[in-house]
Amino acid sequence: MKVCIVGATGLVGKTMIKLIEERKFPVNQLIPAASERSSGKTIFFRNNEIKIVSIKEGLAAKPDLVLFSAGGKVSKEFAPVFAQYGIVIDNSSAWRMDPEIKLVVPEINAKEININDRIIANPNCSTIQLVMVLAPLHKKYLINRIVISTYQSVSGSGVPAINQMESERKNIEPNMIYPHPIDLNCLPHCGNFTDNGYTTEEIKLVNETRKILNDQVINITATAARIPVLGGHSESVNIEFSKNFELKDIINILNNSPGIKVTDDPKNNLYPMPVSSANKDEVFVGRIRRDQSRKNCLNLWIVSDNIRKGAATNAVQIAEYMLGQGLI
């Protein structure tokens, strides 16, 4: 099997390569592709040094599987062309809301993929960790409304944002990626502001959640903030159900849902944190408690490594599922 990683030099692309090796995904030839300025550089994969090629060179190899993490513009241009030869799993926002393209979190809706699907969309990192927790609860209690507040790490904005924060911490004049300093600060600003006052990141949470849960009538509102944390996104989530619930049943459902780890012992200061989610593939949930102000309402705190399960791991899991079903 020939596997091409488009965007192989970025945070997510590098992690995809690492995960393919960790998870022993069957690769006969790895083709790392990136922009022209990275062509000729090398990476290591399974103790072998491999040269990075241009995207067009990667296309010429006619790979069986392509994992894209190079931004929406590149994906719009090249994903349909790659899809003539193999399966494309795209990590950008380019195809997520296309009605003809599946938006997949394997633990929730991988079974929707069929032999005709040539491009599969990977959801936004904040959406993935959110719906991992919502899906089993929605199935049992039927969600009416969700209020989400995110606390997103700088790694979600890529290497330049990490460099800005680290420069600020060293009192070095930074190359500003954000409109304000990020270290010792909190920006209620993820993505770009739209005419309705919400950011693109907040709108993604609404639209992608509805699509993955296959429910367009759930009421959802979100506020997304950027915080000076290197990696790992956190979310405070308030859920209103149609049915009443017992906390012990909520915990039992989550404990028995694949890919979720309940960390909820506040008396012993145990709860999910970005630092404890680093380099892990699970979605961590804690601070599970009833909302005392409203009937049938629940509060949760959800944390996940946004580069792994929020991007690279989810994409590789989709590829594993498709391989197992004979779709690749």
pLDDT category at 111 given cuts 50, 70, 90 is very high
The pLDDT score that the predictor gives to residue 38 is 83
Answer yes or no: 233 catalytic. Answer: yes
For residues 103-132, average pLDDT? 97
The pLDDT score that the predictor gives to residue 144 is 98
3-state class (DSSP) for residue 61: coil
Percent pLDDT > 70 in the chain is 100
Contact 5, 70 (CB under 8 A): no
The two tokens of residue 213 are 């849960």
For residues 72-97, average pLDDT? 96
The pLDDT score that the predictor gives to residue 238 is 98
User: In this model, does residue 288 exceed pLDDT 90?
Assistant: yes
pLDDT category at 257 given cuts 50, 70, 90 is very high
* Rounded Cα distance, 1 and 247, in Å: 47
Contacts (Cβ under 8 Å, ≥6 apart) of 117: 87, 101, 102, 327
The pLDDT score that the predictor gives to residue 123 is 98
The fold of the 126-306 domain, in CATH, is Dihydrodipicolinate Reductase; domain 2 (3.30.360)
Which residue spans of the chain are classified as CATH 3.40.50.720?
2-123+311-324
Among 4, 125, 138, 190, which one carries the catalytic annotation? Answer: 125
- Over the Cα atoms of the chain, what is R_g? 20
Location of structure tokens 């145990």: 270
Contacts (Cβ under 8 Å, ≥6 apart) of 172: none
- pLDDT tens per residue, range 299-310: 999 999 999 999
The pLDDT score that the predictor gives to residue 90 is 97
Contact 303, 274 (CB under 8 A): yes
Decide yes or no: CATH 3.30.300.10 for domain 2-123+311-324.
no
Percent pLDDT > 90 in the chain is 97
The pLDDT score that the predictor gives to residue 36 is 82
Closest CA to 321 of 172, 135, 124, 105: 105
Mean pLDDT of the chain: 96
Contacts (Cβ under 8 Å, ≥6 apart) of 207: 96, 97
Among 4, 138, 190, 233, which one carries the catalytic annotation? Answer: 233
Closest CA to 69 of 131, 159, 130: 159
What value, to the nearest 5°, has the Cα angle with vertex 72 and ends 212 and 78?
110
User: In this model, does residue 84 exceed pLDDT 90?
Assistant: yes
User: In this model, does residue 39 exceed pLDDT 90?
Assistant: no
For residues 32-44, average pLDDT? 89
User: In this model, does residue 35 exceed pLDDT 90?
Assistant: no
- pLDDT tens per residue, range 241-253: 999 999 999 999 9
Q: State the pTM of this model.
A: 0.95
- pLDDT tens per residue, range 41-72: 999 999 899 999 999 999 999 999 999 999 89
The pLDDT score that the predictor gives to residue 10 is 93
The pLDDT score that the predictor gives to residue 127 is 98
- pLDDT tens per residue, range 196-225: 999 999 999 999 999 999 999 999 999 999
pLDDT category at 319 given cuts 50, 70, 90 is very high
pLDDT category at 156 given cuts 50, 70, 90 is very high
Which residue spans of the chain are classified as CATH 3.30.360.10?
126-306
